[in-house]
């Protein structure tokens, strides 16, 4: 059973307790300057955006079929059974394809380090594995960030939308975006107001490359036979011609033509 | 034996300057990290080391497999005389791409990880394997030239025996990774500008690799004419020009059809940064060279062919930079301009490539029907070649 986080922006009061709890959990520095930073980065895995009276939390979405995990050439990023998408630093070669490919640009890089790694929210994988809620969910004073089973949280989100249709935008972000994510968000104002794209692809992005990659075995076998065949035909012709004595045999040098240096 | 000091010429001065700048930039890169040495950021994680060094580098080295296929599989013996020069360029090209990767990867010493840590769903994984295998194939294909020089008979015989499977493997590996460099961008349908994002990206990358492979062959022949006074005969160049024209025609039709069907053709009328660079790419890579090649007098003259080839190379370099940089900027919300250190490293990799090519051309039998003319002498002699 997959776990998930439900973030209800209408309950969020912008206190940033989640940010602080996350920093403590991940042994990151946290102070007022960092609290004021909007962008997530190698030292800030989650960020509460403010637009007037409204808030929206940003973090890694923990996609059901994560693009980052599909593109990583060494399998450093992985979707775990329980839901979190985790990162294994010791495998990473630092190609940064995950950063380019992630539809939410969640993975961040340690640009200042000589031996850098990728950093992002891990959905507190260790806590979750131990049966605990994520640090941010635990710290949230209003219940805006809630941790639980994905199915149950979806049902709950549906219920909230149905009970208060005027208070919410009728959309559960993460239900089907890029094939679904383990972070679900509902909000009273359109997500686009926070700079989010309005038209996320609804199918998992890894399908786009998989369609091409899955043809490779066929291409290799077909290609080898085809090229081998062409070679046989073109050289057979030359052999026949040679046997009839009016051409040079394949493999033999062409008549020497001396060229001026 | 006397050690002569190399004469000072303009190009040698440039070479030394570029390499020194490159050495300093490398020092910055490896002691202070990517942040200090590049203008890359979380918003823009791939710059010219990927866009130019890798994407364009692999494309520029495509002459190797195109020509090997023509000569050994389709048995077009006429092209044999340029086989070795093209092979050498390809081999050098791939080695330099790997060198460039060592700068770009955050953890270059883990470059071998894809060998043991597999993720077959990743395009990058596939590219890594193909490039590695193909570089091996290229070195085996080129090895006879070295063995011949060292008079090693037995390895020569072995290589000759497996030469056809080797060529076939090379062609297939090239097809795979040349197109896969395009597939890398299939995963960013919402980040890459509609001028460049297309489900046909792998096809476009493959065809453009062939076009540039042919153009580079024409271009190299003229370069070596200038520096080594050796070149292809005109009829051969003309034939390459004709093939190039057909390949460009196919690419143009496919590209315009694709833009039209995706509804992106209309956007050409919207003025903007992307539109201008798109136009530049189309003009340099397709419209101007096709115009030249369609003109019979131009197509049959050395100068016309040379010019067309240079345009094609520049045009498709623009194309790949557009895919990797221009087309990604709007979604990233930042403008990326490479830092001088990025440029210095790229430039010195190119300079060193030219230098090694010149050395090899002097000491190995690269060009048709000739003995290597110079005996191996003092290394100081070598520096002669670079700017002769
Ligand atoms: S949001 Fe990005 S980094 Fe997070 S799981 Fe999805 S693809 Fe991976
Ligand atoms: S940067 Fe690391 S984690 Fe990201 S795709 Fe490359 S190897 Fe994988
Ligand atoms: S799930 Fe854990 S790592 Fe992710 S934002 Fe919450 S506290 Fe931070």
**pLDDT for B164-178, tens place per residue?**
889 999 999 999 999
Nearest Cα residue to B29 out of B371, B377, B300, B349: B349
- β-strand A145-149 against A3-8: which pairing, if any? antiparallel
Residues B69, A99: C-beta atoms closer than 8 Å: no
Q: With contacts defined as CB-CB under 8 Å, which chain B residues touch A237?
A: 75
Q: Is B343 left (phi over 0), alpha (psi -120 to 50) or beta?
A: alpha
The distance from CA B297 to its chain's CA centroid, rounded to whole angstroms, is 29
- β-strand A54-58 against A47-51: which pairing, if any? antiparallel
Q: What is the pLDDT of residue B332?
A: 93
* Cβ–Cβ under 8 Å, residues B228 and B322: no
Q: What is the pLDDT of residue B226?
A: 65
What's the Cα-to-Cα distance from B174 to each of B63, B145, B195, rounded to whole Å?
10, 21, 26
Query: Atom 8 in ligand 3: which residue has the minimum CA distance?
Result: A22
Q: With contacts defined as CB-CB under 8 Å, which chain B residues touch A70?
A: 119, 121-122, 187
Query: Is the pLDDT at B368 greater than 80, yes or no?
Result: no
Which range among A120-129, B62-71, B80-89 has the greatest average pLDDT? A120-129
pLDDT-derived band at B154, boundaries 50, 70, 90? confident
- Tell me A13's DSSP state: -
- β-strand A183-186 against A3-8: which pairing, if any? parallel
CA of A97 to the centre of ligand 2 (A): 6
Arithmetic mean of pLDDT over chain A: 91
Percent of chain A whose pLDDT exceeds 70: 93
Question: A123-138: per-residue pLDDT in tens?
Answer: 999 999 999 999 999 9
pLDDT-derived band at B219, boundaries 50, 70, 90? confident
Nearest CA distance, A127 vs chain B (angstrom): 27
Residues A219, B172: C-beta atoms closer than 8 Å: yes
For residues B143-169, average pLDDT: 86
pLDDT-derived band at A11, boundaries 50, 70, 90? very high
d(CA B366, CA B61): 16
Nearest Cα residue to B61 out of B198, B170, B185: B170
Percent of chain B whose pLDDT exceeds 90: 63
Residue with tokens 């990774």, as numbered in its chain: B177
Choosing among B37, B40, B51, B75, which should be mutated to test the A contact, i.e. which has the most A CBs within 10 A?
Answer: B75
* Cβ–Cβ under 8 Å, residues B72 and B167: yes
* Cβ–Cβ under 8 Å, residues B182 and B202: yes
Tokens of residue A73, six digits: 């050439």
Nearest Cα residue to B296 out of B284, B285, B286, B308: B308
Those of residues 259-318 in B touching chain A at CB distance below 8 A are none
**Ligand 1 test: best mutation among A4, A60, A201, A205, most atoms within 8 Å of CB?**
A60
By Cβ distance, the residue of A206, A248, A256 closest to B121 is A206
Tokens of residue B269, six digits: 């009328």
ipTM rounded to 2 decimals? 0.89
* Angle (CA) A6 A8 A11, round 5°: 135
d(CA A80, CA A129): 10
Query: Is the pLDDT at B148 greater than 90, yes or no?
Result: no
Percent composition of chain A: helix, strand, coil (DSSP 3-state, to 5): 35, 15, 50
The answer for residues whose C-beta is within 8 angstroms of residue A157's C-beta and 6 or more apart is: A6, A8, A172, A184, A186
Residue A122 CA, closest ligand 3 atom number: 3
Q: What is the pLDDT of residue A14?
A: 94
Residue A261: exposure state from Cβ atoms within 10 A (0-12, 13-18, ≥19): exposed
Half-sphere exposure of A29 (CA within 13 A, CB side): 6
CA of A91 to the centre of ligand 2 (A): 8
Nearest CA distance, B369 vs chain A (angstrom): 7
d(CA B68, CA B287): 28
Query: Is the pLDDT at B125 greater than 90, yes or no?
Result: yes
- Whether ligand 3 lies within 6 angstroms of the CB of A118 is answered as no
Query: Is the pLDDT at A2 greater than 70, yes or no?
Result: yes
pLDDT-derived band at B9, boundaries 50, 70, 90? confident
Question: A66-100: per-residue pLDDT in tens?
Answer: 999 999 999 999 999 999 999 999 999 999 999 99
Residue B329: exposure state from Cβ atoms within 10 A (0-12, 13-18, ≥19): middle
The residue with greater pLDDT, B243 or B152, is B243
Q: What is the DSSP string of B279-348?
A: HHHHIIIIIHHHHHHHSHHHHTSHHHHHHHHHHHHHHHHHHHHIIIIIHHHHHHTS-----HHHHHHHHH
Q: With contacts defined as CB-CB under 8 Å, which chain B residues touch A205?
A: 187, 189
Arithmetic mean of pLDDT over chain B: 88
**Ligand 2 test: best mutation among A60, A88, A97, most atoms within 8 Å of CB?**
A97
Residue with tokens 């994520």, as numbered in its chain: A134
Residue A57 — φ and ψ, nearest 5°? -85, 135
The answer for residues whose C-beta is within 8 angstroms of residue B122's C-beta and 6 or more apart is: A70, A71, A72, A73, A75, A97, A209
* Cβ–Cβ under 8 Å, residues A216 and B177: no
d(CA B306, CA B220): 9
Q: With contacts defined as CB-CB under 8 Å, which chain B residues touch A219?
A: 172, 175-176
- Which of A65-74, B10-19, B206-215 has the least mean pLDDT? B10-19
- Which of B187-191, B247-251, B269-273 has the least mean pLDDT? B269-273
* Cβ–Cβ under 8 Å, residues B340 and B24: no
């Amino acid at each position: 059973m997959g776990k998930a986080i439900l973030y209800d922006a209408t309950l969020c009061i912008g206190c940033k307790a989640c940010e602080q709890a996350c920093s403590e959990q991940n042994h990151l520095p946290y102070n007022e300057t960092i609290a004021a930073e909007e962008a997530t980065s190698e030292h800030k895995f989650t960020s509460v955006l403010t637009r007037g009276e409204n808030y929206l939390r940003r973090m890694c979405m923990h996609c059901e079929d994560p693009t980052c995990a599909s593109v990583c050439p060494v399998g450093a990023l992985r979707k775990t059974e329980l839901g979190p998408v985790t990162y294994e630093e010791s495998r990473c070669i630092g190609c940064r394809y995950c950063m380019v490919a992630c539809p939410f640009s969640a993975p961040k890089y340690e640009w200042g380090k000589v031996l850098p790694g990728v950093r992002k929210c891990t959905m507190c994988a260790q806590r979750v594995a131990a049966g605990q809620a994520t640090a941010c969910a635990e710290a949230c004073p209003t219940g805006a960030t809630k941790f639980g089973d994905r199915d149950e949280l979806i049902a709950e989100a549906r219920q909230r939308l149905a009970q208060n249709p005027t208070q919410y935008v009728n959309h559960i972000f993460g239900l089907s975006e890029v094939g679904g994510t383990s972070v679900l968000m509902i909000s009273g104002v359109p997500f686009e107001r926070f700079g989010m794209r309005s038209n996320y692809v609804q199918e998992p992005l890894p399908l786009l490359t998989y369609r091409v990659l899955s043809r490779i075995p066929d291409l290799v076998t077909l290609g080898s036979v085809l090229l081998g065949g062409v070679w046989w035909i073109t050289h057979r012709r030359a052999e026949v011609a040679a046997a009839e004595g009016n051409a040079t045999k394949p493999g033999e040098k062409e008549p020497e033509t001396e060229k001026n240096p | 034996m006397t050690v002569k000091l190399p004469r000072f010429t303009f190009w040698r001065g440039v070479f030394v300057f570029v390499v020194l700048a490159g050495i300093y930039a490398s020092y910055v890169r490896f002691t202070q990290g990517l942040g200090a040495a590049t203008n890359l950021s979380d918003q823009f994680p791939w710059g010219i080391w990927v866009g130019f060094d890798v994407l364009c580098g692999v494309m520029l080295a495509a002459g190797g497999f195109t020509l090997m296929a023509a000569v050994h599989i389709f048995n077009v013996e006429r092209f044999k005389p340029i086989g070795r020069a093209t092979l050498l360029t390809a081999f050098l090209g791939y080695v330099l791409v790997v060198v460039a990767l060592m700068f770009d990867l955050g953890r270059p010493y883990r470059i071998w990880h894809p060998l043991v840590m597999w993720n077959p769903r990743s395009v990058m994984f596939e590219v890594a394997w193909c490039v590695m295998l193909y570089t091996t194939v290229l070195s085996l294909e080129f090895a006879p030239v070295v063995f011949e020089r060292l008079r090693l008979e037995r390895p020569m015989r072995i290589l000759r025996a497996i030469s056809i499977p080797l060529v076939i493997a090379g062609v297939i590996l090239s097809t795979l990774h040349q197109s896969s460099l395009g597939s890398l961008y299939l995963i960013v349908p919402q980040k890459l500008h509609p001028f460049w994002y297309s489900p046909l990206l792998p096809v476009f990358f493959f065809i453009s690799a062939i076009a540039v492979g042919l153009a580079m062959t024409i271009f190299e022949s003229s370069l070596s004419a200038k520096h080594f006074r050796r070149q292809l005969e005109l009829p051969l160049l003309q034939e390459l020009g004709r093939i190039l024209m057909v390949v460009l025609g196919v690419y143009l039709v496919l590209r315009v059809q694709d833009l039209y069907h995706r509804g992106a053709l209309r956007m050409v009328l919207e003025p903007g940064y992307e539109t201008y660079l798109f136009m530049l790419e189309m003009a340099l890579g397709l419209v101007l060279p096709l115009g030249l090649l369609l003109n019979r007098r131009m197509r049959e003259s050395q100068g016309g062919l040379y010019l067309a080839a240079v345009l094609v190379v520049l045009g498709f370099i623009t194309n790949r930079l557009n895919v990797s940089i221009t087309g990604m900027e709007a979604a990233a919300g930042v403008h990326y301009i490479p830092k001088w250190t990025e440029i210095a490293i790229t430039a010195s990799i190119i300079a060193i490539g030219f230098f090694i090519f010149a050395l090899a051309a002097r000491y190995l039998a690269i060009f048709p029907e000739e003995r290597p003319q110079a005996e191996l002498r003092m290394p100081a002699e070598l520096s002669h070649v670079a700017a002769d």
